[in-house]
Amino acid sequence: MTKYLASNDTWEIGGKRLNSRLLMGSALYPSPANMEDAIKISGSQIVTVSLRRQAAGEGGGNQFWDIIKSFGIEVLPNTAGSHSAKEAITTAQMAREVFGTNWVKLEVIGDQYNLQPDPFETVKAAEVLIKEGFEVFPYTTDDLVVAKRLADVGCKIIMPWGSMIGSGKGLMNPDNLIAIRKQFPDLQLVVDAGIGKPSHATQAMELGYDGVLLNSAIALAQDPVKMADAFRVAVEAGRLGYEAGTMKEREFASPSTPTIGTPFWHQFN
């Protein structure tokens, strides 16, 4: 009997062919060693890093950067902390020099309360960065119109949120995410932000999304390493479910074992 594994399901994003569809952040871990073990067990091949901020407890200095580089995986610098297109563009340019990559996770925050991205500044920054040769991974809300604007300026990857950053609320508006997926069947779509449980990641993957990016759900767990393993399995399960084709919901009951004709036990009376 053939055994199918999601880990054999390679995919392409930003010009790279990868196996894992789980993207991970590198902030908030109790220690550098804990972060290292969690990333390793997750199988993630893309890790985000920020030039602007580094959470307390990560150890700081060269140790943090040495660990990230030692993995031999893809580094996705982000523009976290930017509040304008100009700030984000400058941060992206610095990141390209530091990490030697044209990848950038574009974050332009428009509201400090819910950390919602500024759609106008995000689109503006994306257009400039794409012209400068960046592969832009824009963080946005689940707004279809904003997604269209990002696609119009050349984004090949779009990362709508599931819910507010760090909220752990999961997918607040699945219908919005489905609409974006249907509108852009050829773009790489990654759910970014709001994922709190492995089941949330599975749900995102079942909707046909190409990947999931998360940080807090693993880093703030009682056991980050075990949680990283749980998310690895959850993402694989969701992808397999999507590829297999989940059953359609029904408004009525339907027996899994139909009863046709005379019950078999009557044959013995």
Catalytic residues: 105
- What single DSSP character describes residue 12? E
Radius of gyration, CA atoms only, the chain: 21
Range 117-132 burial, b when 16+ CB lie within 10 A, else e: bbbebbbbbbbbbbee
Closest CA to 107 of 192, 13, 204, 12: 192
Specify the DSSP class assigned to residue 7. Answer: G
> Which pairing describes strands 46-50 and 22-25: parallel, antiparallel, or unpaired?
parallel
The C-alpha torsion from 13 through 18 and 22 to 28, rounded to 10°, is -90
The Cα 197–Cα 42 span in angstroms is: 14
Three-state secondary-structure class, residue 134: coil
Task: Please choose, from the candidates 138, 135, 214, the residue with its C-alpha nearest in 3D space to the C-alpha of residue 171.
Answer: 214
Say how many Å lie between the first and final Cα of the chain, rounded: 41
- Nearest Cα neighbor of 78 from 56, 99, 57 is 99
CA distance 225 to 248: 35
